[in-house]
Amino acid sequence: MKRVVIACGSGIATSTIMDDGVRTFLDTTGIKYTTVQCNILEIGNYVEGADVIVSSTKLSTDYGVPTVTGTAYITGIGEEELNKKLLEILSK
Amino acid sequence: MEILLGILNFISNLGSTVMVPVMITIVGLVLGLDFFRALKAGMTVGIGLIGINLVMNLVWNYMTPVANALVEIFNLNLRYIDMGWSYVSAVAFSTTVGTFVIPFCLLINIVMLVIKATKTVDIDIWNYWHCAFTGSCVYVTTQNYAIAFMAAGLHFVATLVIGDRFAKMVQEEMDLPGISLPHGSAAPALVIGWLANKFLDLFFKGGEGKENKNTGSIAANPFIRFISDPMMVGLILGTVLALVVGSGVAGSLQTGMAMAALMFLLPRMVKVLMEGLLPLSGAAKKTMAKRFSGQEFYIGMDSAVCLGHPTALSTSLVLIPLTLVIAMILPGNTVLPLGDLASTAYYTAMTTIPSRGRFGRTLFGACIVQALACYAGTYFADVTTAVAVSTGLAEAGSTISSLSATWMDIVVHFIARQGWLGFGIMAALVIALVLWHRTWVAKQPAVTEAE
């Protein structure tokens, strides 16, 4: 089971779109996963056991977990590259 | 017109938990969703509203008595409880004006793009709630749909214009090419941050590039981790305030737990509502992308894309206790900060940009933004409560507000409440803004040339 942490300003709005993007893509890959949404300050509380962090913004803190910026799920620009990156991280 | 008003009144009398699902379903159909998905979207939003209602009992049962006691015992006039932006957004979307705001603002955006009066394609339909809020407040005050929609429209146009004007600065400082922030709390905060910097420039020079790079250590600090968790903020504030008004240890701890539950559950309920809007945002994105794509357009996003900036994060933590201090010492303020203490980063991120990442300037700007938010909360307290009561999301006689209203909301509402004179002024302002901004848009080099 892969664990995806999805973070934005509040864990409510932007992360919900990114969560939808991540789910829509991962459902096509057959990877088993769970997602959790939180705000950026809370990442530290959710990062244990996580396989990847999808964040609405570049993070200045290194949590020791692969991190990607998930804005492509909102704009639709670069969504395929983001999917590829996500797959690469989660296939390890 | 009579028939239209009759339909509007019939719909709004259904109560928000029925009216909103019906309206969202219709909007979904208009945006091209099939019936099942549209209905599911509408119902999900309605379920979110019901969830919010359930959670709000925590406020009526636990927090209102404490706030009232604070007023009585200490003469501290903070009788309106700040419910936070998530609650206010739900309230704003569940009024008659609010349910029409998404198609209304999309339409304005399309018209502005067609007449080349903006460069921003605003796909961030969640944050149309700011316009829904202004419109709903104006409707409660004037009981006039035309004036209410004009107010929402002016708010939206102004936000797009500010978004465009600050886009370059945002893109450079945050390294986000092609983005603008036509966001109801971001745009006014950017303006304040910019003015604050202009002011500070009179006294201080230089200091660019002296960013605060050590957020890593700040964020890892156990104490900071503790107070940055909304749940803990609720527990501490609830318990301390209840103790102060003499509720006893058991009662205070119960209030603390209730407030922790509020801070934890309310955003989750709003999230359900957001999930319901998700298919709509997808459909809107598709519609907009078909017509307006390519490099000459900015994509309008939520200011959440900026929150990772180290200065924004570290100042936001300092701003949490500072906001409480500001609320207490600010003359005339009546709002007790609670819900929006969890959203300080939205404001610090915006003042970070014109401050070019300098810590002191960012904090200075953010304090002004928070002080203005207190005044906006005070100005809108009774109106916010009236809107919330009208949607059934608050009990009659409750006293709630938020720190999410801005100086821009005040300006628009103040003009609008002059009635038809206000309508005329707002219409003139819209035209003036569009004409003024069009000449600016025309002067912008195409992105491809600039690079």
B291 pLDDT more than 80: no
Question: Where are chain B's structural domains?
Answer: 2-444
For residue B450, pLDDT beyond 50: no
Residues of B in contact with A74 (CB under 8 A): 123-124, 301-302
In this prediction, residue B449 carries a pLDDT of 39
Q: Residue A8: closest CA among chain B residues belongs to which residue? A: B304
How many domains does chain A fold into? 1
Given a cut of 90, is residue A35 above it in pLDDT? yes
Distance CA(A14)–CA(A9), nearest Å, equals 8
Report the helix count and the strand count for chain B, using DSSP H and E: 19, 6
Percent of chain B beyond pLDDT 70? Answer: 93
Q: Report the CATH number that the domain containing residue A65 is assigned in CATH.
A: 3.40.50.2300
The token duo for A92 is 């390890």
CA-based nearest distance B214→chain A, Å: 9
Residue B229: its chain A contacts at CB < 8 A? Answer: 41-42, 45
Residue with the larger pLDDT of the pair B342 and A83: A83
How far, in Å, CA of A83 to CA of B424, rounded? Answer: 50
Set of chain B residues whose Cβ sits within 8 Å of the Cβ of A18:
none
Q: Which of A24-28, B166-170, B218-222 has the lowest mean pLDDT?
A: B218-222
Q: Counting Cβ atoms within 10 Å, is residue B43 exposed (0-12), middle (13-18) or buried (19+)?
A: middle
B305 and A71: CB-CB below 8 Å? yes
CB atoms under 10 Å from CB of B201, counted, come to: 10
pLDDT at B270: 85
User: Among all residues of chain B, which has the CA nearest to that of A41?
Assistant: B228
Residue of A nearest to B122 (CA): A75
Lowest mean pLDDT among A24-28, B67-71, B212-216: B212-216
Which of B96, B73, B88 lies closest to B8, judged by CA?
Answer: B96
Q: To the nearest whole percent, how much of chain B has pLDDT over 90?
A: 48
Closest A-chain CA to B218: A61
> Which pLDDT score is estimated for B74?
74
* Residue contacts between A and B (CB atoms, under 8 Å): 106
Mean pLDDT of B121-146: 93
User: Is pLDDT at B217 greater than 60 in this prediction?
Assistant: no
**Minimum CA–CA partner of B179 in chain A:** A75
Per-residue burial over B102-127, b = 16 or more CB atoms within 10 Å of its CB, e = otherwise: bbbbbebbeebbeeebbbbbbbbbbb
Confidence of residue A14 (pLDDT cuts 50, 70, 90): confident
Q: Which of A8, A47, A72, A86 is catalytic?
A: A8
Residues 395-434 of chain B with CB under 8 A from chain A are none
Task: Dump pLDDT digits (tens) for B302-360.
Answer: 888 888 788 888 888 889 889 999 999 999 999 999 889 888 888 999 999 999 888 88
Interface pTM (ipTM) of the complex? 0.78
* B305–A56 C-beta distance less than 8 A: yes
Using the beta-carbon criterion (under 8 Å), do A56 and B307 form an inter-chain contact? yes
Which of these ranges, A47-56, B187-196, B267-276, has the smallest mean pLDDT?
B267-276
pLDDT band, very low/low/confident/very high, at B126 (cuts 50, 70, 90): confident
Query: What does the pLDDT read at residue B295?
Result: 63
Please tell me the least confidently modeled range out of B127-141, B226-240, B340-354, B367-381: B226-240
Greatest mean pLDDT among B4-13, B244-253, B430-439: B430-439
Average pLDDT of the residues in B398-407 = 92
Q: Residue B301: its chain A contacts at CB < 8 A?
A: 14, 71, 74-75
Mean pLDDT of the B195-224 span: 68
pLDDT at position B404: 93
pLDDT of residue B183: 92
Q: Which residues in chain A have Cβ-Cβ distances shorter than 8 Å to B275?
A: 16, 20
Least confident of B11-25, B104-118, B126-140: B11-25
The per-residue DSSP string of chain A comes to: -EEEEEEESSSSSHHHHHHHHHHHHHHHHT--EEEEEEEGGGHHHH-TT-SEEEESS--SS--SS-EEE-THHHH-TTHHHHHHHHHHHHH-
> Is B309 an interface residue toward A (CB < 8 Å)?
yes
The whole-angstrom separation of Cα B307 and Cα B314 is 10
Given this model, what pLDDT does residue B66 score?
84
Q: Look at residues B381, B401, B216 and name the one whose alpha carbon lies nearest to residue B313.
A: B216
pLDDT score recorded for residue B302: 87
Using alpha carbons, list the distances in angstroms from residue A27 to A19, A24, B34.
12, 6, 22
Rounded to 10 degrees, the C-alpha dihedral A36/A39/A45/A49 comes to: 40
Domain range holding A63?
Answer: 2-91
Q: pLDDT (tens digit, 9 = 90+) per residue, B237-290? A: 889 989 988 889 999 999 999 989 988 888 888 889 888 888 888 888 777 777
Residues of A in contact with B274 (CB under 8 A): 12-13, 16
- Contact criterion met (CB < 8 Å) for A8 and B270: no
Q: Is A38 annotated in the active site? A: no
**Which pLDDT score is estimated for B294?**
67
Do B327 and B170 form a contact (C-beta atoms < 8 A)? no
From the CA of A51, how many Å to the nearest CA of chain B?
Answer: 20
B304–A9 C-beta distance less than 8 A: yes
